[in-house]
Amino acid sequence: MSCENLSKLMFKNEIPTPQQLEERFPPRNLPEGAAVTRFAPSPTGFMHIGNVLGAFVDRLLATQSKGVFFLRLEDTDKKREVADGVSAILEGLAALNITLDEGVIAPDEAQGDYGPYTQSQRCEIYHAYAKQLLEQGLAYPCFCTADELTALRETQEQAGENPGYYGKWAKCRGLSEEEQTRRLEAGESYTLRLRSPGDASRKVIINDLIRGKLELPEYDMDVVLLKADGIPTYHFAHAIDDHLMRVTHVVRGDEWLATLPLHMQLFGLLGFRPPKYAHIAPLMKQDPETGGKRKLSKRKDPEAAVSFFTAQGYPAAAIAEYLLTLLNSNFEEWRRPNPDALLSAFPFSLKKMSASGALFDLQKLEDISKNVISRMSAGEVYAQALAWAREHNPELATRLSRDEAYATAMFAIDRGGKKPRKDIARWDQVQEVYAYFFQAPPFEDNEILQQYREIYAYADGKETWFANIKANCGDVPVRDYCGAIRVAITGRENTPDLWAIMQVLGEDEVLRRLRR
């Protein structure tokens, strides 16, 4: 019985050959040095800010090199998948204005010539390469049950051995072809395992684009390539996908470092040129209990979820700008003389990324967000605040949409110039900060207001308005006189330009508030 005949028992359906797939997905026609990057999450419904940080780096690399960035869904683990998982991924990317060149662009919609971009739709592609490895003697069927594998691990632990399916512990690795045939023909359930040539006593040298030269033990486990239902494991599928989609750079979390030797081994055995890898350290947080640093946790920290930032109303541009401060320490130095430049103009470098986790600081994000919003035009503020409100605050959305010109004029006060006012860092603050434009504050009459009602003239320009106040305030200091008017009109002791506020409110509303 040859391996070729054995493969006929295991792969009964007609599938393409690896050569046909190479022709179907040829090398991309891109400029020299162009990076092809991918974001490849599972649709589990939770988007960690650390994952989106990786996608942000992917986008930067592709943009700067005139390359391609795409979204691929790794949905082979159906137990973890949730109904709205794809929408959560797309919303997470939108939260940072991360655009896609190809791949999955909406639930049940994709674009590009290298699809399908959803792994569950690519099974025949994986089977083509699984069949090739089997026929080359680099893979074999394993009939071990879950109970047998559990017993194996317990035996290894008792013996003080490294747990796993490898070497002498790989029970099905040495089965004869006759035994394999008999069990396949009997219909026994099986997985397809890699016949690993690795030796843990040897080292594999890999250059990481962030961490530099790495020396790691060779991978010697006979990992599962295809599960009993024919669905591939992540390790096998991603190697094939990255090759056929012509990925040049893989940006991912450093939790994958342990399996990097396996992935390099798979690329080698499949005859593929591996992509360049960049492993990002996890985002850290100052622990309020211990004072030390710990990983940003999706269980403990609400800000670990991208949805936290969209719900709070941080502008996408502000989040992106803050993340760049975490990625490259020279970003703020570059931003100061380039306040209006696009982020894509920043000379981002993987080499300037830290191999240790950056500290995620919400207060710094708030400060950056205030700066970003202060540089927006009134029209941009109106559009983004309204878009957020329609999703998260219907009352505010109604107020803003009732009169666009009024709301835009409200946002225009103290905007522009060298020192624009920085009242808000998030769209969820708009309703409170600008409340007096929509509702008159509580009122207490006094002599200043009684006098001012007689001299108020809406038509007065700012200089005439102020000169009129100074001429009529008598013994009352101008500051106190204006303060009384300010409180009557806005209910606040500190506001943007008072004359501008009164102009936006209009003559009738100002008089109404002064006469209550």
The model's pLDDT over 182-231, given as tens digits with 9 standing for 90+, comes to: 999 999 999 999 999 999 999 999 999 999 999 999 999 999 999 999 99
Question: What is the average pLDDT value for the chain, to the nearest integer?
Answer: 93
Stated as kind and residue range, the H or E segment containing 384 is helix 378-392
pLDDT band at residue 2 under the 50/70/90 scheme: low
Cβ neighbour number for residue 315 with a 10 Å cutoff: 24
Q: Pick from 484, 403, 483, 396: which is nearest to 435 by CA?
A: 396
The model's pLDDT over 83-114, given as tens digits with 9 standing for 90+, comes to: 888 999 999 999 889 999 999 999 989 999 99
Encoded amino acid at 104, one letter: V
If one looks up domain 286-374 in CATH, what number appears? 1.10.1160.10
Say how many Å lie between the first and final Cα of the chain, rounded: 99
Cα 125 to Cα 223, 244, 281, 298, 393, distances in angstroms: 19, 10, 32, 35, 46
Fold (topology level) of 3-15+122-280: Rossmann fold (3.40.50)
> For position 1, what pLDDT does the model report?
40
CA dihedral (413, 417, 422, 424) in degrees, to 10, reads: 50
Say if CB 345 and CB 321 are below 8 A apart: no
Q: Where are the domains of the chain?
A: 3-15+122-280, 286-374, 378-428, 447-515
Above pLDDT 90, what percent of the chain? 85
In the predicted model, is pLDDT for residue 506 greater than 60? yes
Residue 181, exposed/middle/buried by CB under 10 A (0-12, 13-18, 19+)? middle
Which residues lie below 8 Å from residue 267, measured CB to CB, with a gap of 6+? 239, 243, 273, 274
- d(CA 284, CA 296) in angstroms, rounded, equals 5
Which residues lie below 8 Å from residue 77, measured CB to CB, with a gap of 6+? 42, 234
Radius of gyration of the chain measured on its C-alpha atoms: 31
The model's pLDDT over 391-428, given as tens digits with 9 standing for 90+, comes to: 999 999 999 999 999 999 999 999 988 889 899 999 99
pLDDT band at residue 45 under the 50/70/90 scheme: confident
Highest mean pLDDT among 33-37, 96-100, 281-285, 334-338: 33-37
Weakest mean pLDDT among 15-24, 65-74, 200-209, 289-298: 289-298
Encoded amino acid at 483, one letter: G
pLDDT band at residue 384 under the 50/70/90 scheme: very high
Which token pair is 101?
A: 């060149």
Say if CB 71 and CB 355 are below 8 A apart: no
The model's pLDDT over 308-364, given as tens digits with 9 standing for 90+, comes to: 999 999 999 999 999 999 999 999 999 999 988 988 899 999 999 999 889 999 999
Say if CB 60 and CB 45 are below 8 A apart: no
